[in-house]
Structure 1
Amino acid sequence: MDDLRIGAIGLGHRRSLAVAAHQEPGRGSRVTAVSDLDETTLLNEAEFFDAKTAETDYRRLLDREDVDAVLVATPDHTHAPIAIDALRAGKAVYLEKPMATTVEDADAVLRAARESGSRLYVGHNMRHMGFVRLMRRLVQQGQIGTPKSVWIRHFVGHGGDFFFKDWHADRSKVNSLLLQKASHDIDAMHWIVDGATEAVQAMGGLTVYGGLPRREPGEPGPEIRPSREQWPPSEQRALNPVMDVEDLSLLNLRLDNGVLAAYQQCHYTPDYWRSFTVIGDAGRMENFGDDPGGSIRLWYAGRRNYDPAGDAEFRIPDAVGGHGGADDEVVREFVRFVREGGATDTSPVAARMAVAAGDMATRSLRGGGALLQVPRLEEAVRAYFENGQVEAG
């Protein structure tokens, strides 16, 4: 079987996805074309992948008949238009999360996939992370009874380095970090408890980074890497010229299966980790670490005081590769789906629901904290994707 010929569009922070897709000949997929706006990056990556096609304009890449599929890993605000162009050009699309920055644009991507018949895959790689898969399995086994609530705390210890020195700090590029960053966690939470958000209420603000020194417009940005050279957060310098996204967000959610959830995100903590707690009517579970070597602990016997050991502990399995092995797994699933179709652990509809929750949460946050309903997806579009991207009947 010939290798799937992939065009990589955007080779910045998430170039690791293209690397994962670039297998040895005969192993299933190869990166044969590259596109990036930065000409130096483009030349370097064309050499790295030995790509015959290198274009600064991705639309010329879409015109090529020797490209079967594209991997879109560009800044968030470009996801929807590039994906729609690629789908209409007949290319299978791997679209990095979030699939769009508004619910309206997410719906437009889904409609384009249905109308074109081109296959769409959204890279919510957390569904392939060991701790998420383990928590989902424990819930499905009934280890804590029926889920009733989820509490998520996301401590983004390097937020000042990764999210406030480039386009992530600009709401015109990301909408909000409550969408950009939290869409991962919201999608994972939906999957763990088998539900989707139907109503949200949020509060937050730009509480630390807003008054710190910024670069002049047009001035080259610093290398983006986690650092403790500028600590505490008030010592951060060379922040993005435009900064109008929140660095602290608090979100309440109601899911369509009755689960109530709370999500908290802070971008100036001294540590970095995700804490998921799932509470059922017969117990609760919590992760201690989200990488291999961590664990999930369960409490299901009554006690008067806190017991850190719990009643059972399950080790997060070992894995190799980015994001606990999830990057390799999500690319592998995409290639298999393009070739064979069938069920996938990721879901374009679920990706839309994560965007919808984050988008409406942002509107609530910036509109005084009102309770807002998540717009419903058109039923015919939902049915198309739930039927494996094939029209029913």
Structure 2
Amino acid sequence: MRDLRLGVIGLGVRGELANLAHRPAAGSRVVACCDLDPKMPADAQQRFGPDVIVTQDHRELLNAGLDGVLVLTPDHTHEPIVLDFLSHEVPVFVEKPLAITTLGCDRILAAARTSGTRLYVGHNMRHLPVVKTMRRLIVAGVIGQVKAIWCRHFVGHGGDFYFKDWHADRRKTTGLLLQKGAHDLDVIHWLAGGYSRLVTGMGGLVVYGDIQSRRDHTGERMTDWLAPDLNWPPHRQRDLNPVVDVEDLSMMQMRLDNGVLASYQQCHFTPDYWRNYTIIGSEGRMENFGDADDATVKVWNRRSDYSPDADEVIHVPASSGSHGGADPRLIDEFLDFVRHGGTTITSPVAAREAVAAGYAATRSLRSGSRPVAVAPPDPALVTYFETGQL
């Protein structure tokens, strides 16, 4: 079996996925890289060998004979880069979110169908062991039929991760309810078995908006300035991005197409970092404690006063690899998909639906919390992707 020839667009923080895909003589090899960072050529050669092609313009790689490409660039660049590679029939892995608008997602889905080129979206949380455990229990009927899902997302490192670079600029993200929330919205949809069709949002820039210290971090990566021990409480943050116009506290309510009601809350100035899902069914309740590392899923399905021991406790041990072991599984699935096509645990349609829900909720949030309808995608596109990309 020859190695797949892979290209990587963007060697920033999520560039670690490229290391997982680089498996010389074992099935895949990174042969080309693109990044605007002037330090990139030396970095790429150290990581992938002296023969790796390096460029600052992804268009130079469109006809480079690649078997697949990983698009790991800032969110607002996903759409044009992905469209370029799809039009040249190069299979694409694009980091979530698929795009920063619903229309952008729909353009990408349509282009993938028109060209017949394989499209994969990096929603790694579908491979997270604790999420897969909850999904398995739901499918098995342990809590009956799902009726409601609540997700609380405590983003304890938000100031360092999301307010010192492009993430803080709504022109490049739409907002963190979409950018960061796309993961959880996709999980909510997956666990509920449906997609949001009516949403409302509420939130504001309630802490970081009061910080006037600004600095242009161009040429730096988040790891260059991360100093968690120095930046607590949150108002001690310094050197925020020159543009800060996204919300640091936001929440949304959703009515799904199958009648499930859901809510999502996101805060970027908590002391701890984790996410908690509560799933309520017609015959019980389920909740996770911990997510990426050692985690526990608890199930209550007998009438009683509250019991922290629950009726069933499932320990989910930590897995090796980044993001609780989800990233290696994500790359394994993508590489298999490039070779064989078919259906995958991740879903381009579901990725679009996560963006659509976050996009609509952000519009609601910024317009007095008025309800916003979420239009479904073209049924022909849904059928195309659900039957498997060949």
Match of 1:156 in 2: 155
- 2:106, 2:352 within 8 Å by CA — same for their partners in 1? yes
Does 2:321 align with 1:307? Answer: no
Match of 2:284 in 1: 283
Matches for 1:266-345 after TM superposition, within 5 Å: 266-303=267-304, 305-345=305-345
**TM-score, normalised with respect to structure 1:** 0.96
Matches for 1:87-102 after TM superposition, within 5 Å: 87-102=86-101
Match of 1:232 in 2: 233
* CA displacement, residues 307-339 of structure 1 (integer Å, 9 cap, x when unaligned): 111101001133110111111101110110110
Structure 2 CA distance for aligned equivalents of residues 218 and 96 of structure 1: 22
Match of 1:23 in 2: 23
What is the Cα deviation at residue 387 of structure 1? 1.5
Structure 2 CA distance for aligned equivalents of residues 329 and 220 of structure 1: 30
| Cα distance change, pair 340–218 in 1 and its aligned pair in 2 (3 A) | closer
What is the Cα deviation at residue 225 of structure 1? 2.4
| One-letter identity of the residue aligned with 2:341 | G
Match of 2:110 in 1: 111
What is the Cα deviation at residue 213 of structure 1? 2.7
Moved more, 4-13 or 312-321: 312-321
- 2:343, 2:386 within 8 Å by CA — same for their partners in 1? no
Identical counterparts, % of pairs: 52
Match of 2:129 in 1: 130
- 1:291, 1:316 within 8 Å by CA — same for their partners in 2? no
- 1:33, 1:61 within 8 Å by CA — same for their partners in 2? yes
What is the Cα deviation at residue 16 of structure 1? 1.1
Three-state SS of the structure 1 residue aligned to 2:39 is helix
What is the Cα deviation at residue 389 of structure 1? 2.5
| Cα distance change, pair 389–219 in 1 and its aligned pair in 2 (3 A) | closer
Match of 1:43 in 2: 42
* CA displacement, residues 244-281 of structure 1 (integer Å, 9 cap, x when unaligned): 00000010011111110011000000111100000001
- 1:34, 1:46 within 8 Å by CA — same for their partners in 2? no
| One-letter identity of the residue aligned with 2:312 | A
| Cα distance change, pair 236–292 in 1 and its aligned pair in 2 (3 A) | closer
Q: How many residues align?
A: 387
Match of 1:68 in 2: 67
What is the Cα deviation at residue 384 of structure 1? 1.0
Structure 2 CA distance for aligned equivalents of residues 146 and 10 of structure 1: 42
Does 2:3 align with 1:3? Answer: yes
Structure 2 CA distance for aligned equivalents of residues 315 and 73 of structure 1: 33
* CA displacement, residues 39-66 of structure 1 (integer Å, 9 cap, x when unaligned): 212331133211431111011011212x
Structure 1 CA distance for aligned equivalents of residues 225 and 286 of structure 2: 35
- 1:233, 1:268 within 8 Å by CA — same for their partners in 2? yes
- Structure 1 segments (4+ residues) deviating >6 Å: none
Structure 1 CA distance for aligned equivalents of residues 285 and 310 of structure 2: 10
**TM-score, normalised with respect to structure 2:** 0.97
| Cα distance change, pair 115–182 in 1 and its aligned pair in 2 (3 A) | same
Does 2:168 align with 1:169? Answer: yes
- 2:33, 2:44 within 8 Å by CA — same for their partners in 1? yes
Structure 2 CA distance for aligned equivalents of residues 336 and 59 of structure 1: 25
Structure 1 CA distance for aligned equivalents of residues 362 and 153 of structure 2: 17
What is the Cα deviation at residue 220 of structure 1? 6.6
Structure 1 CA distance for aligned equivalents of residues 216 and 130 of structure 2: 41
Structure 2 CA distance for aligned equivalents of residues 46 and 55 of structure 1: 12
Match of 2:350 in 1: 350
- 1:158, 1:226 within 8 Å by CA — same for their partners in 2? no
What is the Cα deviation at residue 226 of structure 1? 5.3
What is the Cα deviation at residue 214 of structure 1? 2.8
What is the Cα deviation at residue 99 of structure 1? 0.5
| One-letter identity of the residue aligned with 1:262 | S
Moved more, 223-232 or 360-369: 223-232
Match of 1:200 in 2: 199
- 1:149, 1:259 within 8 Å by CA — same for their partners in 2? yes
RMSD: 1.3
What is the Cα deviation at residue 383 of structure 1? 1.2
In structure 1, the gaps of 5 or more residues are none
Match of 2:254 in 1: 253
Structure 2 CA distance for aligned equivalents of residues 9 and 22 of structure 1: 14
- 2:343, 2:387 within 8 Å by CA — same for their partners in 1? no
Structure 1 CA distance for aligned equivalents of residues 379 and 213 of structure 2: 46
In structure 2, the gaps of 5 or more residues are none
Structure 1 CA distance for aligned equivalents of residues 198 and 308 of structure 2: 33
Match of 1:214 in 2: 213
| Cα distance change, pair 376–275 in 1 and its aligned pair in 2 (3 A) | same
Three-state SS of the structure 1 residue aligned to 2:137 is helix
Match of 2:244 in 1: 243
